[in-house]
Structure 1
């Protein structure tokens, strides 16, 4: 979902370059240097307004997190939260998720989160889906051998497509739910995104999975 332009976004980004990377070239294998201390590293590709990633970072100070989005307006909203919170284990990244293997080194990341990604429902746009095989190849490259991918969506078509795409890629499923919010065990630690909160209240079922790559 494309957000409206934020006139203040560019200035806020330029004033807080200690919290956000806008020219990440050459950062492969060096992301830990942007955090207060070296810890397991997780990234969210497409961070929306930042509710999920900021709460996740607050609840898990033993991990480092990167909120990533290609939209300046979106990442600026996350930055606005981080300027107030100043979480030492959260960094932001303005970049395209299609370039992950150019942004991160091989086996640099412990986990990847995909939350309510654009479903790109038209067949001709299949290659833009974040669970298309070219994206899966990049996740596999940047993830450690024991790394994992977590994926949530309210879009049934995208979820079914993703299951097939991941299965065809040889991924193994560790957790799977077609109705996350009514699954007591899997939903116990769930952190909702703004979008998830809004649409689950309208009765939309939330699909969820956790998967890993076979070594």
Structure 2
């Protein structure tokens, strides 16, 4: 599976590097505070103070408080779009997304969606974060629909995108809830990879078009 590499931060102009560093600092501080005290108990003003920036600066980087914790949603959408857009000739969008999902698990990437129960306990314990996560999946579906449609090879881009996102979302929710019951993370991760492989293979079988 192909995919465009993210720009090397060192190659960016100084202004952009400073913005990235500020964004990362805010995110790191916010995450620490949320883990220490709980998402609902920390205000944006407190995050700003701890990160030594203004509240306006926080909102310049993160439109909503929820985005401070779920700050990788844009990156996840970008990776998925790139996987579909830059897929090999003859490869279907679903196959490209399967390859991306498996690679993220193999790399232990934060966007692999499972592997860190404390993070998911905070998300599932907050109505606001759960709502933002649902919005993130909706945004992913819309972006994939547009990308698949642009390729002109799939007669039903919205259906393909919706089913791919639903398959991924369902597999992740299943594995996260298993971790909540106390199952060993290593076991769940192994089964999670196999589950992703299975659901995407089945989806490829029923959606053979779009290469």
TM-score normalised according to structure 1 size:
0.34
More strand by share: 1
| Rg larger for | 2
TM-score normalised according to structure 2 size:
0.34
Higher relative contact order (CA 8 A, sep 6+): 2
